[in-house]
A and B are shown apart, each in its own frame.
Chain A
Amino acid sequence: MSNSSIEYIKKELSPKVRTVGSALFVAGLIVVVLGYVTDPVRSAYNNIVGLTFLISVGVGSLFLFALEYVAGAVWSTPFRRVTEFLAANIYLIPLLAIPLLLNVNSIFHWTHPEPADKTMLNKAPYLNVTFFVIRVVLFWLIWLCFYFFISRNSVKQDTSHDQSLTKLNIKLSTIFVPLFAITISFAAIDWLMSLSPKWFSTIFGVYYFSGTVLAALAAGTIFIVLLNEKGYFVKGLSGDHYYSLGALLFAFTNFWAYIAFSQYLLIWYANLPEETTWFIVRWQGSWKIISIGLVFVHFLIPYFGLLSQPSKMNPKRLLWMSGWILFAHYYDLYWMTMPNFGKDGIVLGWIELGFPLLIAGLIMLVFDFKAKSQNLVPIGDPKLKRGIDFRL
């Protein structure tokens, strides 16, 4: 199919993106450094929340990017570059992972098990510092590798208009998707679940996966709606494209609730001490408010916010709900991580502000950097025309 009828003139992003991004980044960096100076352990826990959030947005976007090729989707092709740009955040994972690897002894109890603790000794072949570092590096390399090649092919197509590049990307994506399933599950187990190393949950990887996709979708939707309303893409993208984004957000909100409740229900029913500990910690003191709040923040508000058909098509509503879902994912990660630090009650202060600011700044800067050198629309993609003409 020829794309010659499509008119796309590249528009430069407003310099505001870079200014705001830099401001957020610098402010976040100052708070994070001050936090590490005053309270390194608490900052390290916040660092885990920040790192897993960045993985969610970066690796989750790469998954959506690959999914388009695997599923042969056309509706998302016109704004696929947004997910590509967001996936570039994979480059930044070491930036947040290295401070944690340096502090590994102060946050992960499994690094120094008691000699008489049989459970921990049995887990030692998996949970030891050497293997942990190997996994962190290995997973990062896998993500980076696939991002690099899939994205390079996609960019190459802009000039060469070579259809065989799409075929090559389909092959690469087909290999990546199962690898993504494995790596994201083990990353969730390593970074989040091993904070309470004696706890058992067989669904935890899926739980984090549902949040990952949701966060990536929400971050993508924010950029897509903002840019499309200002005409950065080609003409003709509107209601039906928005509706598809909204429907995916809605579907994954439900998926998250389904998985979260499945995990809770089985643990609540069986009532086994080695499983219930995790929820008991999150039910003590003021953590109870955060736990109950999670149901509203992460499920009920987005659910009713995106329930009706017009709300999925209204750009303003979509923008608000995407922002809210991003917040909800951060809230979810905070809820998973921070009770391991403050067992008595909510830990919330200026230190907790650092990483959200830092990451928001980073994501904006990476997006701005990528948008400078690349087209915002994959003009060489053979599916583009069909994507623009997509109607429900």
Chain B
Amino acid sequence: MMSGKILYSYTGIFDTPDQIMHAAEKAVETGYTKYDVNTPYPLHGMDKAMKLKPSKLGYVALVFGLSGTLATLLTIWWMSAIDYPIVIGGKPLFSFPAYVPIIFEVTVLSAAIMTVVSMLFFFFKLPNNSHPLHGTEYMKKVSADKYGISIQADDPKFNEAAVKKFLESVHASEIIPIYWDEEEISHKNKILEPKFIMFLIVVAVITSGVTYFSFNKLMYMVPFDWMMNQPKLSAQQQSPIFADGFGMRQPVAGTIARGSMVYQFKGQPDLAGVKLVNPIPISKESLALGQVKFDIYCSPCHGYNADGVSRLRGQFPNPPSLHSDKVRNWSDGRIFAVVTEGQNTMPSYASQLSFDERWAVINYLRALQRALNAKESDVQ
């Protein structure tokens, strides 16, 4: 035995599969744990003879598959229900059935990729690409027509003489010691060499620099956002031009906008009833306009016939009929005050109806009232 050589393992070579099966069973009996069997083809029943536990690779697939499921579910949920909620096809924002195909795909993908990756890097110890058994006479034989067992020197029960004796006792035809390769012992991982790391850094810097330069400088185009970013003020925006900072302005003091009027009887409906006179004469046009506006704004509560029968009946304090004596005896101005300022639950309709439209609605209401309480002279 040459000095300086470090023993890796003792190997025994066998001629038949029955012998190697027997040897493996005996190795388990003797208590060896760090040993391996090499055969030219898979031998049925060998994992049982070696008492190997089932591979842990299945658990990797399970864990990463389920992580893929969960990650995808959370991602889609966050994207389509929280961050950017858009109704698609009238479905709920979080519509699980539509996600199932994607979740399934990602589950399979992440399980498959991570199984292969962990197999290579964790179970096969990939950066380590050499093995003491490589290129030996032993390996040549067991990959052709022989069967071999290799009992490693770092086994706690390892003892040169005893292992030799063991291999003889199971009738090995040849017993070969295997030594670590000189190079392999003194071998340093090239990945950790400073030169290599520098090379990686330089490549990374150049790649990202070139990418940044070409995409952000050479190929840069101004985004087409001209329509979105116009030099005008939108509602509610601030503006530095005005001293108060408001973008929206009040009318100039003492002026009235075209088509509008000042209502002088705020909080004095009775006074309005006395002083306001309907300036719009009853005409076909006025009644038609009044009908349109009444049907839009008044009918939801008071009903199309102003009798208080409407969709809202029963869901709300019941809106009153407008055919009561009280309303019929009110002057046009008094009704105008109610439309303008609101009353009880009824809100103000000043912003929806212009002055002329309010008077037209009152004209139409008078027509409705007359229709229900017609005078005898109307029939003639």
The residues of B that contact A269 with a CB separation of less than 8 Å are 89, 97-98
Given contacts A269-B89, A271-B90, A391-B44, is CB(A308)–CB(B97) below 8 Å? no
Q: Cβ of B98 and Cβ of A309 under 8 Å apart?
A: no
Query: For residue B98, which residue of chain A has the nearest CB?
Result: A269
Task: Assess whether A265 is interfacial by the CB under 8 Å rule.
Answer: yes
Q: Which of B54, B97, B100 has the largest count of A CB atoms less than 10 A from its CB?
A: B97
Contacts of A308 in B (CB 8 A): 58
A268 engages B58 (CB within 8 Å): no
Chain B residues 3 to 54 lying within 8 A of chain A, measured CB to CB, are 44, 54
Q: A126: which B residues are within 8 A, CB to CB?
A: none
Min CB–CB distance A182 → chain B (angstroms): 29
Task: Tally the A-B contacts, defined by beta carbons under 8 Å.
Answer: 19
Cβ proximity bits A261-286 to B, threshold 8 Å, 1 near / 0 not:
10011001101000000000000000
Give the CA-CA distance A388 to B97 in the complex, in Å.
45
* A309 and B54 in contact, given A265-B97, A268-B97, A269-B98 (Cβ under 8 angstroms): yes
Q: Does A72 contact B (CB under 8 A)?
A: no
**B54 contacts A310, C-beta separation under 8 Å:** yes
User: Do the beta carbons of B54 and A265 come within 8 Å of each other?
Assistant: no
CB distance from A374 to the nearest CB of B (A): 32
CA distance A265 to B89 in the complex (A): 14
Minimum CB–CB distance from A253 to chain B (whole Å) comes to: 15
Name the prevailing secondary structure of the A interface residues: helix
Total count of chain B residues near the partner, CB < 8 A: 10
CB nearest neighbor in B for A264: B97
Question: Smallest CB-CB separation from B96: which chain A residue?
Answer: A268
User: What distance in Å separates the Cβ of A386 from its nearest Cβ neighbour in chain B?
Assistant: 14
User: Min CB distance, A308 to chain B, in Å?
Assistant: 7
Complex CA–CA separation, A309 to B56 (angstroms):
11
**Which chain B residues numbered 93 to 144 have a C-beta less than 8 Å away from chain A?**
97-98, 100-101
B-side contacts of A391, CB under 8 Å: 44
Chain B residue at smallest Cβ distance from A391: B44
Contact flags (1/0) for B70-101 with A, using CB distance below 8 Å?
A: 00000000000000000001100000011011
The list of the 6 closest CB pairs from A to B, nearest first, reads A391-B44, A268-B97, A265-B97, A309-B54, A261-B100, A308-B58
Which A residues are closer than 8 A to B by beta carbons? 261, 264-265, 268-269, 271, 307-310, 391
Q: 10 additional contacts, CB 8 Å, given A261-B97, A261-B100, A265-B100?
A: A264-B97, A265-B97, A268-B97, A269-B89, A271-B89, A271-B90, A307-B62, A309-B58, A310-B54, A391-B44
